[in-house]
Amino acid sequence: MANHLNTSAPEPEGGSMAESGELTFLAAEKLVAWLEALAAREGALLVPSHAAGTFVPWQGGEPDLTKITMTSAKGVVLPQHETFLSYAYDSDGKVTVTPRIADTPTTVFGVRLCDTRGVRCIDQTFGENGPSGADPNYVARRDATTFIALACTAADVDAACFCATFGPPDDYGVADLVVHPVEGGYVLRPLSAKGLAAAALAPVEQGVPVPEPPLPAQGAAIEIEGIEQKLIEHFDDMELWSDITEKCLSCGACSFVCPTCYCFTIADEERGSDHGDRVRCWDSCGFACYTKEASGHNPRSSNAQRFRNRVNHKFAYYAELYSLESCVGCGRCIRACPAGVDIRDMVAAVLHRGPVASPGSPAEVKA
Amino acid sequence: MGTLVEAPVVTLAEAVNAGFEKFGLVLGWAPGRDGNLTPTFARSAEQASELAFGPSAVYNLARYVRDHTPCAVVAKPCDTRSLVQMMSENMLDRDKVFVIGLRCPGVADMKKVRERYGWGARVEQVGSEWRVNGEAVDKADLLDARCRACVRREPVIADVIVGEPVTPPAEPERATGLPESMAERGAFWEAEFAKCIRCYACRNACPLCYCQDVCVAQSRQPHWLTDEATPAENWMWQMIRMAHLAGRCTQCGECNRACPVDIRLDLLTQELADTSRELFNYEAGLDPEQKPPFLTYDKERDEWPII
């Protein structure tokens, strides 16, 4: 159990209000009226779409609020691709550089608590207190985003979910407002100023007792006690890594659906002979090109080395830096994997691996 | 259509043992965490004894063969076509693979199983019926679309054959859903490729996408496409991939199955196969000796169907 997570969630980036408002009750038939009010605000309102596999602009009507989306909500604050500066040469060859920051106010309705816990992981690295300082594009989006999370019921949890591993059911992550499904409607729980503003637009029932919502449902916990140390011990145990990663196809599906994977690549894209954009796009440590150097050398040329990085980043490197695993147990990587890889099997294999033959000395590396 | 391959008919256990004795490594499927079959690399007699076949054996293990030769591989008829195509392109040496060819009654659409019964639902064959979590289900309903379209229930190549003969469907189903008018098709594909997250699962699951780590998608010079996941760039990516698979794709269906966002790649691979048949009278993956149309050049030929 990650007991260091039993502390309350860090405050949202860029806002000092952890002020939580009173619980209110919204009748089920008034949900669409609330969404209309949220959509009438400046900016965008996104809702889950299982057809699209992600969060899309609300088109009216009842959104599909069953189960979790294939991809996470991280793209709202860390888009798959974004232009962060444009450049242009004038006829004298002088270059003009224009920074681009997108900060359209965006409300995302129906994210899950695994999404809001995932954004908390990204906050540690890209937010105000990140090791390299704030990432201006990320922080601008983050400040402009309101996360309205839907608490899971038992029907939403499937056998790929394992979120109970990483914290209690009432760890709301960076949610601004939590919507608890209850008999006949929803209980709204505002957790920030942005959440209060969103809740204020809800046509809630006045003067009725608000039912006490049940704790959100969670997927079954897995054993991770001691995983950080065990991963470091078995860093050079390539027999283990080759064995447990053998069926991995080295695609990026797990990284790209993951709510915490934030690796990116930057490229200058010419749009014409005299102008272009600098773009940042998601990248994955699963890809062979990820660590390929200009010389042609690739320090992680094998699948085993690449997947070792993925597991170590989630459970050792990141955990050591931030006292927080960068896995939230949403199970998206498990559902998306075309080869049936289950990160829980890997964690278990590492935990139950016997001691290394001679600690400290690299084991024989298999080709 | 190719003639039926001749090889001894044995049990799966006998076949796996023979493969293990020959190469010490058998690529097969064994039950995973949820009881469904998952790709498994058997390097001991004990591991080999766990290999099994059933409706959840959806993975085409031909994809793994090129990185594991010499080895034995358990292959459905569609998977044997991938192996044959690799042989006809000199990607795979016949002597370095022991093919355990299955007669195949078809496998399940695992996305449908999981959508309907929840993640973790276990599908298995008991006798002639399929069961999900122990309850009998309508097999025809859960049969994968690629199996409903499949007329080849016998392996195309095999060192040993496993299973009873299977009667192919009288009327194979074609992939449907492509709008008729070109304008509607444009909108259809734009919506499909808006979903693409450029994870390259389609490429990496493909037994014939042999470039893999040196794919043109990652090339800066020439720079055919950017990493920006816009519908146009995503479409460009898939068109490049499809162009490289023209006259080669055996419609094993793995790209379609691998796609986490369910882009209708089956419509594209079907089009490739149709076109290859119409223009070249060529069907990929049926004979190791046949030459793929884009690997031939006959200067005496009068007419070229394209150019």
In chain A, where the domains are located = 24-200, 227-366
Using the Cβ of B300 and the Cβ atoms of chain A, whether some distance falls under 8 Å is answered with no
Rounded Cα gap, residues A245 and A300, in angstroms: 14
Last residue of a domain, one of B162, B197, B212: B162
Whether B186 is in a domain gets the answer: yes
Both B190 and B138 in one domain: the answer is no
Helix (H, G, I), strand (E, B) or coil at B28: strand
Answer yes or no: is B286 within a domain.
yes
Chain A hits for B69, Cβ within 8 Å: none
Residues of A with CB under 8 A from a CB of B: 52-54, 70-71, 80-81, 158-160, 246-247, 249-253, 255-257, 265, 267, 269, 279, 281-284, 287-289, 331, 334-336, 338-340, 342, 344-345
B128 in any annotated domain: yes
Give the model's pLDDT for residue A12.
44
Residues B222 and B275 in one domain: yes
Residue A342 to residue B197, Cβ atoms within 8 A = no
Instruction: Kindly state whether residue B176 falls inside one of the protein's structural domains.
Output: no
From the list A53, A289, A331, the residue facing B218 with the nearest CB is A289
With respect to residue B27, please indicate whether it lies within any of the assigned structural domains: yes
| Facing residue for B213 by CB, picked from A81, A247, A288 | A288
pLDDT given at position A174: 98
Whether residue B225 is found in the same domain as residue B156: no
Q: How far apart are CA B38 and CA A273, in angstroms?
A: 50
- In the DSSP assignment, the letter for residue A316 is I
Q: Which two tokens stand for residue A139?
A: 């922080």
CB pairs under 8 A between A and B: 126
Closest Cα in chain B to A291: B213
Q: Do A279 and B228 touch (CB under 8 A)?
A: yes
A250–B197 C-beta distance less than 8 A: no
When divided into structural domains, chain B yields a total of: 2
Nearest to B16 by CA among B102, B125, B80: B102
Whole-angstrom Cα distance, residue B136 to residue B139?
A: 9
Q: A342 contacts in B (CB within 8 Å)?
A: 32-33
Below-70 pLDDT ranges, chain B: 1-3, 301-307
- The pLDDT value recorded for residue B304 is 60
Note the pTM of the prediction, 2 decimals. 0.93
Check whether residue B142 and residue B216 sit in a common domain. Answer: no
pLDDT for A282: 97
- For helices A238-245 and A303-312, the axis angle rounded to 10 degrees is 90
Which among B119, B213, B218 has the least Cβ separation from residue A335?
Answer: B119
- Considering only CA atoms, which of A47, A20, A68 is closest in space to residue A188? A20
Sign, Cα dihedral of B158, B162, B164, B167? negative
Q: Are residues B124 and B198 in the same domain?
A: no
HSE at residue B73, side-chain half, CA atoms within 13 A, is 32
In 3D, which of A111, A121, A145 has the Cα closest to residue A15?
Answer: A145
Contact between B149 and B77 under an 8 Å Cβ cutoff? The reply is no
Q: Do B229 and A253 touch (CB under 8 A)?
A: no
- Mark whether B21 and B144 lie in a shared domain: yes
Beta bridge partners of A96: A88
Rg (CA), chain A: 22
Q: Give yes or no: residues B260 and B150 share one domain.
A: no
Q: Are strands A145-150 and A106-111 parallel, antiparallel or unpaired?
A: parallel
Is residue B244 domain-resident? Answer: yes
In this structure, are residues B218 and A289 in contact, taking their beta carbons and an 8 Å threshold?
yes
Closest CA to A121 of A346, A347, A331, A323: A323
Report the C-alpha gap between B121 and A166 in whole angstroms. Answer: 24
Can you give the pLDDT at residue B154? 95
Q: Nearest by CB to A338, from B197, B205, B220: name it.
A: B205
> What type of residue is B115?
E
Spatial distance between the Cα atoms of B201 and A70, rounded to a whole number of angstroms: 14
Residue B86 sits in which domain range?
9-162
Question: What does the DSSP 8-state code read for residue B143?
Answer: B
DSSP letters, A24-84, are EEEEGGGHHHHHHHHHTSSSEEEEEETTTTEEEE--SS----SS--SS-THHHHS-SEEEE
**Token representation of residue A262:** 């934030």
Q: State whether B126 and B55 are in the same domain.
A: yes
Low-confidence ranges of chain A (pLDDT < 50): 1-18, 360-367
Q: How far apart are CA A297 and CA A333, in angstroms?
A: 29
Q: Which of B34, B199, B254 sits opposite A253 (nearest CB)?
A: B199
- Burial class for A215, CB neighbours closer than 10 Å (0-12, 13-18, 19+): exposed
Q: Which parts of B246-264 fold into alpha helices (H)?
A: 254-258
Residue A96: other Cβ atoms inside 10 A: 10
Distance between CA atoms of A241 and A366, rounded to whole angstroms?
10
Q: Is residue B175 part of a domain?
A: no
Q: Kindly list the residues from chain B whose CB atom is less than 8 angstroms away from the CB atom of residue A249.
A: 63, 201, 204-205, 258
Q: What does the radius of gyration of chain B's CA atoms come to, in whole angstroms? A: 20
Question: What is the per-residue DSSP string for B51-115?
Answer: ---STT----THHHHTTT-SEEEEE-HHHHHHHHHHHHTTSS-GGGEEEEEEP----B-HHHHHH
Is B167 domain-assigned?
Answer: no
CA B187/CA A50 separation, integer angstroms: 19
Strand partners, A86: A98, A277
- Residue given tokens 């999900």 in the structure block: B132
Query: Which of the listed residues B127, B162, B197 is the one where a domain comes to its end?
Result: B162
**Side chain identity, residue B143:** L
